[in-house]
Amino acid sequence: MAKPQQGETYKCQTCGMQLEVKSPCQCDSGEPTLTCCSQPLAKE
**Better pLDDT: 1 or 34:** 34
Q: What's this model's pTM, rounded to 2 decimal places?
A: 0.83
What per-residue confidence (pLDDT) applies to 1? 65
Question: What is the residue extent of each domain of the chain?
Answer: 8-43
How crowded is residue 1: how many other Cβ atoms within 10 Å of its Cβ?
A: 11
What per-residue confidence (pLDDT) applies to 12? 98
The tens digit of pLDDT for each residue in 7-34 reads: 999 999 999 999 999 998 888 887 889 9
**Better pLDDT: 2 or 9:** 9
